[in-house]
């Protein structure tokens, strides 16, 4: 497949359907959270009885921002309602411990998404970042509302996919720095194109064979009204046509976009750029 074209009929006011969706991640409130990155060894958390309940989602992965030059670790967990959740690294050191308190403990939580701070490479070099989070299996423990053991695991690797190359907006080279460089003006339809990723990142992480499972295109506009859409496209796609319903030609609005490539391990690499409409 050489080009992905979003179908306008799938785009609605409140729901962008399977391929395009509004970004609606909300902060988790009313939690007492102990974050112990790099803490000493601690015993695994034990639930009240011997019954085990598997998680439905258990992902610990890295994200590289190729444009800004930074790395972060992300966690996505989902499953039966729980009142406590803990994650241990391969050395059995606790890196996350969340306990629900007060009225929320009676309700419980079923989903957790979290991402670490992402200091630039001149503050935290990639090799030092990876030392903090060794490769291997990260085990997830928890306690459901009725006292059962909640368990899962996620395998973490230091292999990062390369960044998309040769990014262009309607044939114009995409700027690498939208803060200080000129922003290209293009007419509609807006076509974002790139060279699909087939290799691991040449400078960050380990070199290895990669399997790209999908690519995500994120488009954001701040003025005159806020807009942010996320579109998943099949791996191997070379371009994406921005739906005309999301653009306002002749007004000169500026858009930021991101192309995020995800590897089979879950690790992902993002490249950012921008354009404005004529």
Q: pLDDT confidence of 45, banded at 50, 70, 90?
A: very low
Two structure tokens written together for 233 = 């496209």
Q: Are 14 and 251 in contact (CB under 8 A)?
A: no
CA distances from 87 to 41, 111, 257 (A): 12, 14, 33
Burial class (CB in 10 A: 0-12, 13-18, 19+), 79: buried
pLDDT in tens, 73-105: 999 999 999 999 999 999 999 999 999 999 998
Helices marked H in 73-228 = 102-107, 126-132
pLDDT in tens, 227-257: 888 999 998 899 999 988 777 766 778 899 9
Residue 34 has pLDDT above 80, yes or no: no
Report the distance separating Cα 81 and Cα 125, nearest Å. Answer: 38
User: In the chain, pLDDT over 70 holds for what percent of residues?
Assistant: 81
With DSSP H G I counted as helix, E B as strand and the rest as coil, what are the percentages for the chain, rounded to 5? Answer: 5, 50, 45
DSSP 8-class letter at 181: S
Strand bridging mode 4-5 / 239-241: parallel
Q: pLDDT confidence of 4, banded at 50, 70, 90?
A: low
Residue 211 has pLDDT above 80, yes or no: yes
Q: Are 72 and 117 in contact (CB under 8 A)?
A: yes
Q: Which of 27-31, 150-154, 160-164, 210-214 has the lowest mean pLDDT?
A: 27-31
Two structure tokens written together for 269 = 């690499």
Q: Are 112 and 99 in contact (CB under 8 A)?
A: no
DSSP 8-class letter at 8: G
Q: Are 100 and 28 in contact (CB under 8 A)?
A: no
Q: Pick the closest to residue 141 from 161, 167, 171, 112 (CA basis).
A: 112
Q: Which domains does the chain have, with CATH numbers?
A: 4-22+159-277 (2.60.40.10), 35-156 (2.60.40)
Two structure tokens written together for 38 = 């790099």
pLDDT in tens, 167-199: 999 999 999 989 887 899 998 899 999 999 999
Query: What is the value of pTM for the model shown?
Result: 0.80
Q: Which of 37-51, 57-71, 157-171, 252-266 has the lowest mean pLDDT?
A: 37-51
Please state whether the peptide bond connecting residue 33 to the residue before it is cis, i.e. omega within 30 degrees of 0: no
pLDDT computed for residue 224 by the predictor: 76
Report the distance separating Cα 128 and Cα 133, nearest Å. Answer: 9
Starting at the earlier edge strand, list the strands of the sheet with 165-169.
4-5, 239-241, 191-195, 165-169, 172-173
The rounded mean pLDDT for the chain is 84
Q: How many residues does the chain have?
A: 278
More confident of the two residues 94 and 35: 94
């Amino acid at each position: 497949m050489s080009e992905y074209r979003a179908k306008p009929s799938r785009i609605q006011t409140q729901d962008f359907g399977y391929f395009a969706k509004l970004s609606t991640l909300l902060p988790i409130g009313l939690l007492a959270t102990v974050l112990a990155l790099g803490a000493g060894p601690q015993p695994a958390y034990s639930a009240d009885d011997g019954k085990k309940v598997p998680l439905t989602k258990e992902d610990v992965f890295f994200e590289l921002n190729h444009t800004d030059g930074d790395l972060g670790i992300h966690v996505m967990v989902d499953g039966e309602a729980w009142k406590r959740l803990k994650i241990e690294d391969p050395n059995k050191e606790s890196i996350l411990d969340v306990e629900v308190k007060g009225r929320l403990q009676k309700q419980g939580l079923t989903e957790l998404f979290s991402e670490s701070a992402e200091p630039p490479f001149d503050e935290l070099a990639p090799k030092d970042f990876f030392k903090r989070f060794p490769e291997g299996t990260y085990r997830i423990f928890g306690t459901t509302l009725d006292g059962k053991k909640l368990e899962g695991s996620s395998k973490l690797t230091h292999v990062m996919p390369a960044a998309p190359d040769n990014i262009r907006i309607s044939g114009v080279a995409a700027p690498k720095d939208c803060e200080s460089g000129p922003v290209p003006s293009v007419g509609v339809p807006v076509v974002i194109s790139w060279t699909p990723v087939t290799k691991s990142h040449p400078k960050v992480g380990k070199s290895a064979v990669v399997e790209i499972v999908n690519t995500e295109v994120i488009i954001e506009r701040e003025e005159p009204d806020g807009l942010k859409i996320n579109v998943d496209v099949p791996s191997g796609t070379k371009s994406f046509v921005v739906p005309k319903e999301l653009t306002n030609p002749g007004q000169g609005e500026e858009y930021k976009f991101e192309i995020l490539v995800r590897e089979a391990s879950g690790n992902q690499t993002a490249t950012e750029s921008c354009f404005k409409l004529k």
